[in-house]
Amino acid sequence: MIIVFKLLMISLVALLAPEFVVDCQTRMQRSEQECGENKTFDPSKVDESITKEFLKAWNRAHNGIGNTEAGISIFQNVEGSYWAIAMPYTNESGQITFIVDPAPIAIVHTHQNGLDPKPSAADIRVADKYCVPIFTITSWGMYMYDPKTQKITKIQNNLDWLSAAKWKRC
C-alpha cells in the first residue's frame, strides 16, 4: 500500500509539474537571475503565525526525538508578507514525501536531533531543482541551503527559530 502511494505521488508530480524537471548539469549552472527574485527569502518577515507552524511541525516530529519528519511551505502575499502552511503529514521514517507547489518561497522541514542538522544531499537536490531555499529545523538550530549561492548557513541557534522576536534580528 505504501509503495502504491509513493508511486501515485511520483506520478502526480510528473503530471502536475513536468516543467520543473531539470537535468543535473542545468541545475548546477543556474544563476541568481535564473532562480528569479520571487524566490528570495527575507528572514525578518517571519512572524508569529509562521513560528506557530514551525511549532506544529516540530510537535508532529515528536520534537526531533522520533524518526518521522514534518514540513511547512512558506508563501509570499502580494503585499510582501509571508504565510505558511503545513505539508500533509506522511508518518514516513526519516523522510517526508510531498508534492512541490511552484509558488513557495521556502520549504522548511524537521530533522531528527541525532542526525546532522544541516540540509542533506537530498534536501539540496530539491532546493536546486525547484530553485527555492530549504530550511531544516532541529534542537541544534535552523539551517538554510540557498540554491542561489549554493551555501548552507546556520540561521538560528537551538530553538530560537520558535520565537518570532528572534527573526526580527536576522
Domain boundaries defined on the chain? 2-167
pLDDT attached to residue 104: 83
- Asked whether the whole model's pTM tops 0.75, one would answer no
Q: For residue 166, give the C-alpha cell.
A: 528572534
Cell 542561489 maps to which residue? Answer: 148
pLDDT in tens, the chain (170 residues): 444 433 333 333 333 333 333 333 333 344 444 565 546 788 889 999 999 999 999 998 889 887 778 889 899 988 999 989 887 655 555 545 555 555 788 999 898 888 899 999 999 998 998 889 999 999 999 999 999 999 999 999 999 999 999 987 65
Phi, psi torsion values for 169, nearest 5 degrees: -95, 0
pLDDT score at 158: 94
Dist CA 7 CA 65 (whole Å): 28
Query: CA 104 to CA 2: how far, in whole Å?
Result: 27
Q: What is the pLDDT of residue 153?
A: 95
For residue 19, the SS3 value is helix
Q: Report residue 147 CA to chain centroid gap.
A: 12
Contacts of 166 (CB under 8 A, 6+ apart): 156, 160
> Of 54, 42, 35, 21, which is closest to residue 150 (Cα–Cα)?
35
Which residues make beta-bridge pairs with 74? 84, 106
